[in-house]
A and B are shown apart, each in its own frame.
Chain A
Amino acid sequence: MNHVRKRLIFALLYDSGKFMLSRNFRLQQVGDLPWLEKNYNFGETALAIDELVVLNVERSRASLDQFLEHVKKLNDDCFVPIAAGGGIRSVEDARRLLRSGADKVVINTILHDDRGLVAELAAEFGKQCLVASIDTKRVDGTFRVFTENGTRPIDGDLDSHLAEVTALPIGEIYLNSMDRDGTGQGFDEEMLRHVPSDIPVPLILVGGAGKPEHFTLGLADDRVDAVSTAHLFNFVGNSLQLSREHLLREGMNLVKWDGNQLKSLAGSV
């Protein structure tokens, strides 16, 4: 019998010291980390999630140091796994992320462009450390896959890319609907139909969650191991806590966390 619980994930999109709101992959600046804490009580959000994803959407190499500092800071009050990525192009990039408090590395473009590097990363850090991010949207009725922050279409369709990526040494798949991204219209059921029932690695469903009920679609599906939202305005402060309580009442297979106990452990040794 399988007792492993499903995960509710919050994703932060980062660009040059600021966190961003994305809608169909168009980005809008929201605020920096202190601003996020002050206005949206991010510390409370961290008590209600099972994992944090932090993606650097900026592409100048100079920004990596600053991004790593943000990943480190997020570790201070966040005692769940952190998957971080964006622009990973070398083993050294990944090592620096992992040494800054990331538990897993999110990769996207190299899944298509540099599979040798994917193999190197897996040999160095283990395949469980690699989260394969796939951005997909409909083009003329077909789900196509895009790399480079959703800007570059690659050959083939979602089905062929999924088959290729699951054959690589990766640990999880982060499947994002660009059509639903930031819309709050709910997860993309049609996209999910392209995921085979025997997908060999855990699947994270991304893009479109706007209210607690939306998470249910993902959590109730056998293929889905985790659901994620990056919707800062809909799901920050105590709203993820309320979503979680709603989902637990609905019988969803999530862990019930005790935020008060965590607070009481601060400085207790």
Chain B
Amino acid sequence: MGKAVVVIDYGMGNLFSVSSALRYLGCEPLISDDPEVVKKAAHVILPGVGSFRLAMERLHAKGLDDAVHDTVQSGHHLLGICLGMQLLGVSSTEDGNTAGLGIIDNTVQLFDESAGIKIPHVGFNEINPTATTGLFEGLPARPHFYFVHSYRMSVGGLHCAHATCTYGEEFLAAFDMDNVCGAQFHPEKSQANGLQLLKNFLSR
């Protein structure tokens, strides 16, 4: 029996590939939309691809927003991936201003279109972690991860270990704060680097 981990299913995002990566590492992923199942899990992953506003509506409709807060308050481990990380912030300007879960103090905006970059930001980009332990243990110095997103989270105000990435401007690539962490990139789609990061999350 591998370690149990719950992947939150709220109709947004690639649950299957996250689960494949977890199985490869030797875990038993449980995909669930039941707030009670989420609250009991020692490790919870909030994935997500798509619209911020729609995601918040769907989380709320199923009571999963409260379950995520419960996970954080009870000291269980939470990892937000891509949109799942952005949802942990205060708000996003996607589809008008939408409030997030407010677990971290950061906000989400569209990439600066005037920076002469192609939007969305697609592909493998290097991140610059502030730590070599915790979520970032065992990674190369400037590891590459797969990004695919048009909105990005601001870096400011974080006092925990984190990693930045540069695409026209600097933005938040990942953070590692007590029992809550997030990755703007897709660890399940980033070859060995991503699997190492998932392993680090599950090993705590």
Contacts and interface: CB of A to CB of B under 8 A. Distances in A.
Interface of A: 1-7, 47, 50, 72, 75-77, 79-82, 98-104, 123-129, 171-172, 199-202, 225-226, 255, 257-259, 261-262, 265-269
Contacts of B119: 200-201
B49 A255 contact: no
Contacts of B2: 269
Contact of B144 (A5, A129, A171): A5
B69 interface: no
B22 to A, nearest CB: 8
Contact of B167 (A4, A99, A201): A4
Contacts of B25: 265-269
B127 to A, nearest CB: 9
30 contacts: A1-B166, A2-B166, A3-B125, A3-B165, A4-B122, A5-B125, A7-B123, A75-B16, A77-B24, A79-B24, A79-B189, A79-B195, A81-B186, A103-B17, A103-B148, A125-B50, A171-B120, A200-B118, A200-B119, A201-B119, A201-B120, A202-B118, A226-B123, A255-B191, A258-B192, A259-B191, A261-B192, A265-B25, A268-B25, A269-B203
Contacts of A4: 121-125, 147, 167
Given A81-B189, A171-B148, A201-B118, A76 B20 contact: yes
A225, A255, A258, A268 interface centre (most CB from chain B within 10 Å): A255
Contacts of A266: 24-26
Nearest to A201: B118
A126 B125 contact: no
Given A1-B166, A4-B125, A202-B118, A269 B199 contact: yes
B124 A5 contact: yes
Contacts of B188: 79
Given A101-B17, A262-B192, A267-B26, A128 B124 contact: no
Interface of B: 2-3, 13-17, 20-21, 23-27, 49-51, 54, 117-126, 144, 146-150, 165-168, 186, 188-192, 194-196, 199, 202-203
Nearest to A200: B118
B41 to A, nearest CB: 15
B123 A126 contact: no
Contacts of B146: 50, 80-81
A100, A171, A200 interface centre (most CB from chain B within 10 Å): A171
Contact of A99 (B16, B194, B203): B16
A5 B118 contact: no
Given A81-B146, A82-B17, A127-B150, 10 more contacts: A2-B167, A3-B126, A7-B124, A72-B16, A75-B20, A103-B49, A103-B148, A128-B148, A128-B150, A225-B123
Contacts of B126: 3, 5
Nearest to B143: A255
B15, B16, B150 interface centre (most CB from chain A within 10 Å): B16
Contact of B123 (A5, A200, A261): A5
Given A79-B189, A81-B146, A171-B120, A123 B51 contact: yes
A172 B123 CA distance: 11
Contact of A265 (B17, B168, B192): B192
B172 to A, nearest CB: 15
Contacts of B21: 79
A126 B13 CA distance: 11
Interface pairs A-B: 9 shortest CB-CB: A128-B120, A262-B192, A101-B16, A261-B192, A267-B26, A75-B20, A269-B25, A255-B144, A4-B125
